[in-house]
Amino acid sequence: MLLFVIIGIFVAGMMVGRTPEYLGKKIGGREIKLAIIALLILPLMILMPTGLFAATEWGMKAVSNPGPHGLSQMFYQFSSATGNNGSAFDGLGVTYGFYNNLNPAQEAAA
């Protein structure tokens, strides 16, 4: 949440025409670059494995529906594992291969 605050204050400060500050400290280009890199890690941790598993037979074996719903199952699985919330999309065979190691909370709930 702090990353969004830093980026929001930076954008608001630039729109007003003042030097952006947060808690008395100036927010410069270095802080914004680091915040953007940190924010881009989450989509990469979701989209890259989803694409990899959708393109390989190894990832498709666990999908119960090979159509668009199967892609949604994989996408939700990696979103859940990245957010560490422990939920799963019904129909994805998470006991197969690598899916089984994504989120230990799912195993405890099962």
DSSP state of 25: E
- Residue with more model confidence, 25 or 110: 25
Of 26-30, 37-41, 85-89, 103-107, minimum mean pLDDT range: 103-107
Percent of the chain clearing pLDDT 90 (strictly above): 3
Pairing of strands 25-26, 21-22: antiparallel
- Residue with more model confidence, 27 or 103: 27
What count of Cα atoms within 13 Å lies in the side-chain half-sphere of residue 106? 21
Identify residue 54 by its one-letter amino acid code: A
pLDDT in tens, 68-106: 877 888 888 888 887 777 676 666 665 555 665 555 555
Domain ranges across the chain = 2-109
3 state DSSP class of 99: helix
